Chains A and B, each alone.
Chain A
Amino acid sequence: MIRRKWPAAGIGVLLAALTAGLAFPSAAVAGEPTGQDAPQVDLVLDVSGSMRTRDIDGQSRMAAAKQAFNEVLDATPEEVELGIRTLGADYPGDDRKEGCKDTAQLYPVGPLDRTEAKTAVATLSPTGWTPIGPALLEAAGDFKDGNGSKRIVLISDGEDTCAPLDPCEVAREIAARGIGLTIDTLGLVPNAKLSRQLSCIAEATGGTYTSVEHQDELTERVNELVDRAAEPVVTPVATEGAASCAKAPTLESGLYTDREEFGQQRWYRVDVLPGQELRASVSVAADRAVNPDHGVLLRAVTVRDREIVRGEAAGTGRTDVLSTGLRYPKPERDDEDDEPAAETVCLAVTHSFSPGAGVKTTPGLPLELTIDVVEGPGGSSDVASFGLGRGWWLLGTLVLAGFLAGLVWGWLSRWRFAVWRTS
């Protein structure tokens, strides 16, 4: 045991040193201009009349939000481009049509000037309606193009007052534009209806919903969301699968997104050389209310429609995604007389989500596809392949074989001795 632990510990230390060495440059690189653009965050604050209510630590919701914003602005990391948008800040009247257009950019998304942003926040006073849907639509337009992460943080104390435009559907449509936008929502002293609406908005884009009852919770949460935006993440590439393999796009190793409607098939093609292994995983996200039983099927088929391998997953109940994957190692070719030709493998994705009652079926469900083409399984390094065995049966067999061999050898030697002596 002890003999074994020392080398293991040594290797552990070595590995730790190595990983530390490897991790350091990547951490250092994160802040520098790399292939990824600056992360952008748009804080969308509800400034409707109800924000006057004094129920957050004895102060009004508006005062709590302002204080939280000041603290967040102080703590925002350098590399994050932050903007602020308000809803219901300007129109105090009763005209619903006017009230539902009331959303304005308080501070544009860009490099942050803390003093300027704080001054802007200080001017706010609770006024009008709660046009969440229109505000989200506008907020989606606030972002600059780029592949950095984009995040809307919506803070509201009341549900949307601008039906029939459903903010959930707005959120889904924004997500379907493929700009990689996440909406996180925070409810100030929410009731069940607001909770449901805000969590619906968050789930439509893969964001989170938090209910807030104290000012420090609000600060902490918004800070965390801004920090999270600053973390580098892999941005997927948008692609569009076809209805059949023949028309499908050819993909290389990477991370892709697509949309797949209910009852649709999505096909993709991947070229695999002999001796390579294809690894594909797919996850289909339930970004709206779906019925409780669901499944996902990923098949790898040849161009002649023979199924090679499949991955399947089924689930029941509440879920955000359903995912599965497959591996296909293409064997090395024995005949090396001609050029190794790549085999086209068709990947077919189907899902059996079904929409809940009264839920719009377009745009399709978000689909994430990871493709990795790596070297195929090589020579074995595993001890089993050295012919090593284990267990009492192995010991018994070896002892028996040894004993029998000894018997025969002894008998042979006796016989040889006799023959040699007598001849």
Chain B
Amino acid sequence: MRITRLLSAALLAFGLSATAVAPAAADSTPSPGASSEDGAGPTRAGTSFRTATEFEQGQTATARASVGDYLYWSFPAGTGQRPTVEASVKLPETHAAETWRIDVYDGLRRRQACQYGAQTRTAAADAASVELKCVLRTVRAWAEPWANDPLPGTYYVRLTAVNLTAADLGRSVDVEVRAVSKEMGGAAAVDGSLSEPLVPGVALRNAAEDRDGDGDGDKKDSPSAVLADLEPEDGWTSGWWSSRWVWTAVGGALAALAGVAGYRLTRGTGRPSRVPPGA
């Protein structure tokens, strides 16, 4: 009996502390190091999907560009992350009203919807800057081939002026792009995974690595440039840890307690009354 009581007390304590942790784990802060590091990123932007400049999440990519350019960057995002892409454009001192837009595409160059955030914004004439923001959907580990859900892999950001006057064409602007993710935890878990993240050119790179692994040293064939190279700092998958462990463990513990309670309710205490004493 004493052991049971001890056990139940321990379980209860664990259960309580774990339930306290569970919601916190579910909506945890941006990935570690995202904002604490100095976050200086590349200082250039690409001009097409093929030449997109890569940056890590948490870094700030800057570039000096011209109004009318199509600027491309790419960053990696892994399972369970909900990336937010922010861009700010410092406009020239004098200019007409212009509309700027950010579009986000996944590794298959499919346009990804923004849940919220000002994806398109019009700067009034002579406004100093434009701020744009796009909050993507949560990146899932797997989706049906017919779905357009965000999957782990490379994400392209395209920033451009979509509405401008000919007089403003080619004027210099300073742009800044950032991507940070919120970890969505176990809520976003799905039963399935991709063999390879949606990184463009991944098949070629694997082939090149295999060739190099053979040790035949035929380096001339291996492409010196790749379409995308970076990986999220925590890897493509969110790892074995998930808030679901806590939920399930606490559920099991509570179920055990409830079981003990139920048992004691019907079993009663001590001997059944029908049994004669001393039998």
Asked if A383 CB lies within 8 Å of chain B CBs, one says yes
Give the Cβ gap from A400 to chain B, nearest Cβ, in Å. Answer: 7
When A326-B145, A377-B195 are in contact, do A210 and B170 touch as well, CB less than 8 Å? yes
Give the Cβ gap from B253 to chain A, nearest Cβ, in Å. Answer: 9
Contact of A199 among B68, B192, B203, B250 (CB under 8 A): B68
Within 8 A of A (CB), among B162-201: 162-163, 166-167, 169-172, 186-187, 189-196, 198, 200-201
Asked if A258 CB lies within 8 Å of chain B CBs, one says no
| A414 lies within 8 A of B259 (CB) | no
| B200 lies within 8 A of A281 (CB) | yes
Task: Kindly list chain A residues whose C-beta atoms are within 8 Å of the C-beta of B224.
Answer: 26, 29-30, 34-36, 232
Q: How far, in whole Å, are A7 and B264 apart by their CA atoms in the complex?
A: 42
The interface on chain A, measured as residues whose beta carbon lies within 8 A of the other chain's beta carbons, has a size of: 108
Residue of B nearest to A198 (CB): B170
Q: What are the interface flags for A174-208 relative to B under an 8 Å C-beta threshold, 1 for contact and 0 otherwise?
A: 00000000000001001010011011000000111
Asked if B231 CB lies within 8 Å of chain A CBs, one says yes
Give the Cβ gap from A274 to chain B, nearest Cβ, in Å. Answer: 14
| A413 lies within 8 A of B193 (CB) | no
Asked if B90 CB lies within 8 Å of chain A CBs, one says no
Give the Cβ gap from A314 to chain B, nearest Cβ, in Å. Answer: 9
Q: How far, in whole Å, are A385 and B256 apart by their CA atoms in the complex?
A: 23
Q: Which of B22, B44, B109, B254: most chain A CB closer than 10 A?
A: B109
| B195 lies within 8 A of A378 (CB) | yes
| A279 lies within 8 A of B258 (CB) | no
Task: Kindly list chain B residues whose C-beta atoms are within 8 Å of the C-beta of A207.
Answer: 47
Number of A-B contacts defined by CB within 8 Å: 319
| A376 lies within 8 A of B195 (CB) | yes
Give the Cβ gap from B11 to chain A, nearest Cβ, in Å. Answer: 12
Q: How far, in whole Å, are A398 and B222 apart by their CA atoms in the complex?
A: 55
When A198-B170, A370-B201, A410-B264 are in contact, do A389 and B247 touch as well, CB less than 8 Å? yes
Task: Kindly list chain A residues whose C-beta atoms are within 8 Å of the C-beta of B79.
Answer: 382
| A399 lies within 8 A of B251 (CB) | yes
Give the Cβ gap from B189 to chain A, nearest Cβ, in Å. Answer: 4
| A372 lies within 8 A of B248 (CB) | no
| B254 lies within 8 A of A395 (CB) | yes
Of A115-123, A260-268, A317-325, A342-350, the one contacting chain B is A317-325
Asked if A233 CB lies within 8 Å of chain B CBs, one says yes
Within 8 A of B (CB), among A12-49: 12, 15-16, 19, 23, 26, 29-30, 34-36
Q: How far, in whole Å, are A36 and B250 apart by their CA atoms in the complex?
A: 58
| A233 lies within 8 A of B51 (CB) | yes
Task: Kindly list chain B residues whose C-beta atoms are within 8 Å of the C-beta of A378.
Answer: 193, 195
Task: Kindly list chain A residues whose C-beta atoms are within 8 Å of the C-beta of B264.
Answer: 406, 410
Residue of A nearest to B248 (CB): A388
Asked if A91 CB lies within 8 Å of chain B CBs, one says no
| B244 lies within 8 A of A388 (CB) | yes
Q: How far, in whole Å, are A345 and B219 apart by their CA atoms in the complex?
A: 32
Other A-B pairs, 8, CB within 8 Å; known A409-B263, A409-B267: A368-B49, A371-B203, A383-B245, A384-B191, A389-B244, A402-B255, A402-B259, A406-B260
Which A residues contact B (CB, under 8 angstroms)? Answer: 1, 4-5, 7-9, 11-12, 15-16, 19, 23, 26, 29-30, 34-36, 187, 190, 192, 195-196, 198-199, 206-211, 217, 220, 224, 228, 231-236, 253-255, 277, 279-283, 309, 311, 313, 317-321, 323-329, 368, 370-385, 388-391, 394-395, 397-411, 413-414, 417-418, 421
A–B Cβ pairs within 8 angstroms, 28 of them = A8-B31, A8-B234, A11-B235, A23-B229, A36-B223, A195-B170, A199-B68, A207-B47, A279-B198, A375-B196, A377-B193, A377-B195, A378-B193, A380-B193, A381-B193, A383-B240, A389-B244, A389-B251, A391-B247, A394-B251, A397-B251, A399-B257, A407-B263, A407-B266, A410-B263, A413-B267, A417-B275, A418-B274
Which B residues contact A (CB, under 8 angstroms)? Answer: 21-22, 24-26, 28, 31-33, 44, 47-51, 64-66, 68-70, 79, 105-111, 141-142, 145-146, 160-163, 166-167, 169-172, 186-187, 189-196, 198, 200-204, 206-207, 219-227, 229-231, 233-235, 237, 239-245, 247-248, 250-252, 254-268, 272, 274-275, 279
